[in-house]
Homo-oligomer: A and B are copies of this chain.
Amino acid sequence: VSLELSPTAKAILGTLSFSPKSGYEIKAMVDRSTRFFWAASYGQIYPELKRLAEAGLVEGIDDPQGGRARTVWSLTEEGREALHAWLSEPPAVFEIRHEGMLKVFFADSLSPVEQIERLRDMGAVHRRKVEALRGIEAQVGHNPANAVEALEKTGSFTFLILRYGIESNEWAAEWCERTATALESRSPVAERSR
C-alpha cells in the first residue's frame, strides 16, 4: 500500500506531471480545469507543497523573476511513482453537494408553480456550468463534436474530461427542462392538489 495522499496532494502531483509550476500556477491551472470536480485553494496548496517536499515527492527550485520571489516545483522520481500508484488504485471519493437537487427534493410542500420554478432553478445551475465550460473550450480554440475527437485533436485527456463536463451538464439541464415541461402539462386535477 502506498502512502496516503491528501486530496490537495493528488491535484498538485497531477498538475506537476504536465510541467513544473509555482504554487500560483498550480492554483491557476486547477481553477481553469479540475475546479469543476476537484477544487483547491491557496490555504491548502502552499502548506501542502511544503509537506510534499518534506516527504520527498516534490522538489522546489528558487526561480525569482526580477525582484519577485518564486519557487518552481517539480516531481521527484518518488513523486512520479506516488502519482502512478495513486492513479492505479480504484477511485474512492465521489461526493456531491447539490443545493438545487435538495430544494426539489423538499418541494412537496410548495405550490405547483413554485415546484416547477425549483426544477427550472436546478436546470439553470447546470446551464451556467455548461456556459462556463464552453467558455474554457472556446479559449483553447477548438470545437470537438465528441470526447474522442477532443482527445485526438489535443492529445490530452484533460480535454476529454472537459467534454464530459459539458455533455453531462447539458444532459442534466435538459432533464430538468423536459421534466418541468411534463409537469406543466399534467392534468388540471393534479395541478389543483396543492
Contact = CB atoms under 8 A, between A and B. Distances in A.
Interface of A: 7, 10-11, 14, 17-18, 33-34, 36-39, 83-84, 86-88, 90-110, 114-115, 118, 121-122, 124-125, 129, 146-148, 151-152, 155-158, 160-161, 164, 167-168, 171-172, 175, 179, 182-183, 186, 190, 193
Contacts of A158: 105, 108
17 contacts: A17-B109, A18-B108, A34-B105, A37-B97, A38-B101, A84-B109, A86-B103, A87-B107, A91-B99, A94-B97, A94-B98, A94-B100, A108-B158, A115-B157, A151-B183, A168-B168, A171-B171
A105 B168 contact: no
Given A91-B121, A157-B106, A158-B108, A101 B37 contact: yes
Given A84-B109, A164-B175, 5 more contacts: A17-B106, A37-B101, A94-B97, A95-B96, A152-B190
Contact of A182 (B18, B129, B148): B148
Nearest to A92: B99
Contacts of A101: 37-38, 161, 164
Chain A contact residues: helix, strand, loop or mixed: helix
Contacts of A115: 157
Which of A91, A109, A121, A160 is the most central at the interface, judged by chain B CB atoms within 10 Å of its CB? A91
Contact of A107 (B37, B157, B167, B190): B157
Contacts of A160: 104, 179
A49 B75 CA distance: 47
Contacts of A183: 148, 151
A147 B123 CA distance: 15
